[in-house]
Amino acid sequence: MGGVNMYISSVETYLLGTNITNKELGELINFKPQLIEKLFGNYGRHFSTDILTGKINNNTSDLISIVLRKLIEKNKNSHHDIDFIITSTATPDHLLPTSINEACYKLGIKNIETYQIIGGCSGAVQALNLAKYILKSGLHKKGILVGVECSNKFLNLLDSGNQKTDTREIVNYVLFGDGVGGCILSSEETRNSLTINEVSYKYIGLDEKIGQLANWKGTRENMNHSPMLQEEYKLIEKIVPELTQDSFKSFLSENNLKISDKMWLMPPQLSGKMVDVICKKIEFPETHILSRVADIGNCANAALFFQLKEFFDVANDGEDGIAISIESSRWLTSRVHVKKGGKCAK
């Protein structure tokens, strides 16, 4: 970590509403539920839009506010010793004001540094990387990271035209889910904290077409707007397991480690089926895989926090957790290595 210690003292997550089954979703988008399970291995997801009425129950800043409140309640000094907040999302409410600043406004949090990263599945690791540099500067000691997704503007669940929609668009309804997660991050160790030993993130420049597109539209009608969401799932299905295997092998080699029963894997959260393919490819034991995507969908920027919360709950002191995320937009790879138990567990 280049001389700076970074610790996670608390992780919180939130899912809104009830879990939406494949049967319920399939009826809306004219997709057989058995096919959803067979092709993608997903069983449920949560949306901020009521699928029966179309009512929007929460937006992105609402979800950020919820997890901020939960984290601040666990921090003994409320928000007064929090120096910065970094949010990552692919689904902001607006370009301006940013969703993180709207959330702070709702909670009455003032005079604090705020940052918002627009990114896909690697966004939470980008936020961790930025936090690393902020803490390394020595100017700040504690911050909050939040990863959030809210699909209101991107998925129209009650659109009767869904039955005629391109498969590259429809697949997003099946794969994704709304959710939010976050953590308190500090340069000072606390009891039962997680030590972050490595954060790596890079654009790898893969010579492939865009795997995931998330668009935004203005008022001009004479522009050629592509769909709001588009997924090249077959391409992703081919490339992501290979990139994950490369990243995992590099991690083992660089740290002189071998797969053991004291290691936990947090694989890319693209689909339940993809997790199975990835873990078989790298021959990682099923009992030590931390994955929520089959149950809650791909929450993109929130996904890492759901996995970290599980690691917090199930890992013993001294055990390693390796999280790998592959973003298919323009092909980015990222990795986080955590150890349970703070410095005493190194």
Task: Read off the pLDDT of residues 153-202 as tens digits, 9 standing for 90 and up.
Answer: 776 666 655 554 566 667 778 888 899 999 999 988 887 889 999 999 89
Whether 1 is covered by a domain: the verdict is no
Domain-located, residue 24: yes
Look at strands 20-21 and 44-45 and give their pairing: antiparallel
Statement to judge: residues 175 and 255 lie in one domain: no
Q: How does pLDDT run across 46-58, given as a tens digit for each residue? A: 998 888 887 888 8
Q: Among 339, 271, 304, 344, which residue's Cα sits nearest to residue 121?
A: 304
**How many folded domains does the chain comprise?**
2
Q: Does residue 233 share a domain with residue 261?
A: yes
CATH number at residue 29: 3.40.47.10
Same domain, 135 and 159: yes
Q: Which two tokens stand for residue 224?
A: 């050629």
In a shared domain, residues 16 and 154: yes
Q: Do 170 and 317 share a domain, yes or no?
A: no
254 shares a domain with 182: no
Residue with token string 């949010």: 87
10 part of a folded domain = yes
Residues 109 and 211 in one domain: no
- Per-residue pLDDT tens digits for 66-98: 999 999 988 777 788 899 999 999 999 888 899
Residue 342's pLDDT is what?
A: 56
Q: Is residue 296 part of a domain?
A: yes
Ranking 82-86, 234-238, 280-284 by mean pLDDT, the lowest is: 234-238
Specify if 29 maps to a domain: yes
- 346 assigned to some structural domain: no
Same domain, 134 and 254: no
- The Cα–Cα gap between 71 and 112 comes to 16
**pLDDT (tens digit, 9 = 90+) per residue, 218-230?**
665 666 656 666 6
* Cα separation, 180 vs 302, whole angstroms: 5
Residue 176 and residue 208 in one domain: no
176 shares a domain with 235? no
Using the 3D structure, point to which of 186, 204, 238 is the last residue of a domain.
186
Asked if residue 222 belongs to a domain, the reply is: no
The neighbour count for residue 344, using CB atoms within 10 Å, is: 9
Write the pLDDT tens digit of every residue in 122-151: 889 999 999 999 998 888 999 999 999 998
In a domain, 345, yes or no: no
In this predicted model, which residue has the larger pLDDT, 296 or 79?
Answer: 296
* The token pair that represents 217 in the structure block: 């539209």
* Euclidean distance between the first and the last CA atom of the chain, given in angstroms as a whole number: 13
Whole-angstrom distance, CA of residue 179 vs CA of residue 327: 18
CA atoms within 13 A on the CB side of 126: 23
Is the pLDDT at 30 greater than 50? The verdict is yes
Model pLDDT, residue 261: 86
Q: Which residues, at least 6 apart from 270, have a Cβ–Cβ distance to it below 8 Å?
A: 121, 175, 236, 240, 293, 298, 326
Q: Are residues 212 and 173 in the same domain?
A: no
Contact indicator for 337, 255 with CB cutoff of 8 Å: yes
Per the CB < 8 A criterion, the answer to whether 168 and 299 are in contact is no
> Are 158 and 210 in the same domain?
no
Rounded Cα gap, residues 345 and 179, in angstroms? 31
Cis ω for the linkage preceding 97 (within 30 of 0)? yes
Structural domain span for residue 278:
194-217+227-340
